[in-house]
Every structure is written in C-alpha cells, then in structure tokens.
Amino acid sequence: TRKKISNGRVFDAGRTEVADGTCTVGFVGPDRVDKIDKLTSQLKCL
C-alpha cells in the first residue's frame, strides 16, 4: 500500500569529488514520526 509520505532524492552537481548526476541523498518526510519509523526502521545509515 502507498503511505503518501513526501520523499525524494538529491543528485550531485559534480563540482567536487562525486560524479555529476550521482544520487547523494534520499529523504522522507516531513510527517508523523510513527509513519516514518514504519517505513525506515529497517534501513541502515551509511
């Protein structure tokens, strides 16, 4: 089922060490903590 929580990705401009177009950030929210925790609790920080 779809949770209807805002989310997206950020792609690097390639001006430093990361190649242009590399996805460097993913984000979820803002929303209620319990909704976000259900979606992200199994993810690991890198």
Q: What angle do CA 33, 6, 31 make, to 5 degrees?
A: 20
Q: In this predicted structure, what is the pLDDT of residue 18? A: 95
Q: How far is CA 20 from CA 16, 26, 45, 46, in A?
A: 9, 16, 23, 20
| Domain hosting residue 20, numbered range | 7-40
Decide if pLDDT at 1 tops 90. no
Region label for 39, one of left (φ > 0), alpha (ψ between -120 and 50) or beta (otherwise): alpha
35, part of any domain: yes
How far apart (Å, rounded) are the C-alpha atoms in residues 43 and 37? 10
The answer, yes or no, to whether the previous bond of 30 is cis (omega within 30 of 0) is yes
27, part of any domain: yes
Dump pLDDT digits (tens) for 6-25: 999 999 999 999 999 999 99
23, part of any domain: yes
Number of folded domains that form the chain: 1
2, part of any domain: no
